[in-house]
């Protein structure tokens, strides 16, 4: 079976998308699916290329005992379209930027909150601006569970 690749995308790739990348990776590992599903993350702006994740995101992952020391931020690349089976945006601005680059393909490119219609949010708020990293974690935790279920259903893993 070909490995399923997921790319999480936010603006700067230092807060939301790395949190989603590593939360999802942990869920995949705990589900025994690490041989079948891989995660990565990127940003639409590129303004933080080469940086570490925000300390607020790192603190959440450390508290959860999720290793993230191999992280380096990067910008979305044109060849990501071929490499990834799912490209998952954190908000509607990120989605629009990605659709400008790749076109509209809702089966592959979508906003993560569409998977959780009862979430109470139509986007993942950016803790860079809100300072609410715990809120971001709680929302992404639910959305990543829903994404894993979607992948299991669609890809039969």
List active site positions.
10, 16, 126
H helix runs in the chain, sequence order: 16-30, 55-63, 80-83, 92-102, 127-130, 133-155
Q: What are phi and psi of 16, to 5 degrees?
A: -70, -50
Q: Are 10 and 126 in contact, with CB atoms under 8 Å apart?
A: yes
Task: With CA atoms as reference, report the closest residue to 10 among 112, 86, 106.
Answer: 112
Task: With CA atoms as reference, report the closest residue to 146 among 40, 16, 27.
Answer: 27
d(Cα 140, Cα 106) in Å, to the nearest integer?
Answer: 19
Q: How far is CA 1 from the centre of its chain?
A: 23
């Amino acid at each position: 079976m070909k490995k399923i690749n997921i790319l999480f995308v936010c603006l700067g790739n230092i807060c939301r998308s790395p949190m989603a990348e590593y939360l999802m990776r942990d869920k995949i590992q705990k589900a025994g699916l690490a041989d079948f599903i891989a995660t990565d993350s990127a940003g639409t702006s590129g303004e933080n290329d080469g940086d570490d994740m925000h300390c607020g995101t790192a603190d959440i992952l450390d508290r959860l005992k999720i290793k993230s020391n191999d992280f380096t931020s990067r910008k979305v690349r044109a060849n990501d379209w071929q490499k990834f089976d799912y490209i998952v945006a954190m908000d509607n601005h990120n989605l629009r930027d990605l659709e400008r680059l790749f076109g509209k393909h809702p089966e592959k490119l979508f906003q993560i909150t569409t998977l959780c219609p009862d979430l109470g949010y139509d986007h993942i708020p950016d803790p860079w601006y809100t300072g609410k990293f715990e809120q971001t974690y709680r929302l992404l935790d639910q959305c990543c569970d829903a994404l894993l279920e979607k992948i299991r259903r669609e890809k039969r893993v």
